[in-house]
Amino acid sequence: MMTLTSSTVQQTHADVINQQFNKSQSHYVNLKQRLRTVLNNETYLQSVLEDSIEDFKERNPQFTKWKDLNLCLAQKTTLDKIAIDTTLQRLLAFYWAMQILDSFWEIQVEPIRVYEDPACPGKYVCWDGQHTAIVMFIIASMVLGEDIRNCEVPIVIYPSSQKDEMRRVFMAANGDGKRPLDAIDKYQQMVFGVRTDGSTIPNWVVAEQKQQWLESAKMFATNLKFNDTDMPGAYARMNELMDTKNYEPVITKHFTKYFTAVCRSSRPVQPKESWMLYDYFKLCENDPNIEVTDSYIRSVAKALKVVAHGDFDSADLWSRAMSSYQNYYRNSVRNGFDLLGIRYPERPLGLTFLIAQIAKAGVETPYYKETYYEVLKTDLF
């Protein structure tokens, strides 16, 4: 009989992505390494970069050597001395860097914010401005073909090495010319802040706890810009994951357990699936007659598997809900005539049908005061 060992269990894409957070100390890379991790032998991205470089040369014939660039005056260092702390900066957004390169204008180049760290001697660690630094590296080494050890860039050196403070400033800085942080960027910064900096900011600690639940379920938070939203376990909808006002943290735990039970995290989370189940488990938490145990969560998942023949498809459920409500509206509101004036309020209509579908399997369901209409059993899956 064969037994599975840690070496025979296949590592999932979620495991690979989540490993970035398994750093209790800062991790430093140079500009070339940072760019290379994004390109990662992707021939399409490489071709995009090459096209942008050629376009840059055509638009800027006045730049034949690095010293032709008139950058702002500040303290300065050479490009080879810039290091990126991968735990303090968001993931490099390749297309944003290409946009900067495609619309390059010297006057818009701001000094790179750096600090000095004894753990990275001889380097200036970038904590804000990595995309500027990467574009400067591309221009110097790939456009002009110069030795980056001779190419100076403006920097501002900050005296504090308190990275939790820098992280908070970085998350708040969305000035002109900067790419605003997406929800995924903020989420990742919070997780890094707890695991790397030891931050105890309450909502950051909550985000890190949610990350633990995602990891346990072979899931990972992501965004379209990372080109992996179609991978197994991908969770690209941050609306519910980051919402601490409407959803208690435990709702995320329930959702990850449900997702494991319904599909073994073998597919991405569907957008409607996220809010439907978050709202459902929120109702359960508010209903004193329901205890959300692992067994209960499995029963909910099992009840929903009939929707997609062994899995759950929220789009199919929503489509059936609209069809069901049309029949109700036509017969009960329009006396069998037409659908004039019909509306489809997504949340109350979707939850009404979802609850009815779960109840059909004999599962105890929570009270829902906004029940939109009485669903006929014949309309259910």
For residues 41 and 377, give the distance between their C-alpha atoms in angstroms, rounded to a whole number: 53
Q: What is the pLDDT of residue 174?
A: 53
* 252 φ, ψ (degrees, to nearest 5): -65, -40
pLDDT at position 238 is 96
**CB-side exposure of 253: number of CA atoms within 13 Å?**
11
Whole-model pTM? 0.74
- What is the rounded CA–CA span in Å between residue 225 and residue 217? 23
Task: Collect all residues with Cβ–Cβ distance below 8 Å to 333 and sequence separation of at least 6.
Answer: 341, 342
Instruction: Please give the chain's pLDDT, 381 residues, in tens.
Output: 444 444 445 789 999 889 888 866 778 899 999 999 889 878 889 999 999 999 999 999 999 999 999 988 889 999 999 999 888 877 888 989 999 999 999 999 999 999 998 889 999 999 889 999 999 999 999 999 999 999 999 999 987 667 778 888 878 765 445 677 899 999 999 999 999 889 999 999 999 999 999 999 999 999 998 889 999 999 999 999 999 999 999 999 999 999 999 999 999 999 999 999 999 999 999 999 999 999 999 999 999 999 999 999 999 999 999 999 999 999 999 998 999 999 999 999 999 999 999 999 999 999 999 999 999 999 999
State the Cα–Cα distance between residues 116 and 28, nearest whole angstrom.
Answer: 12
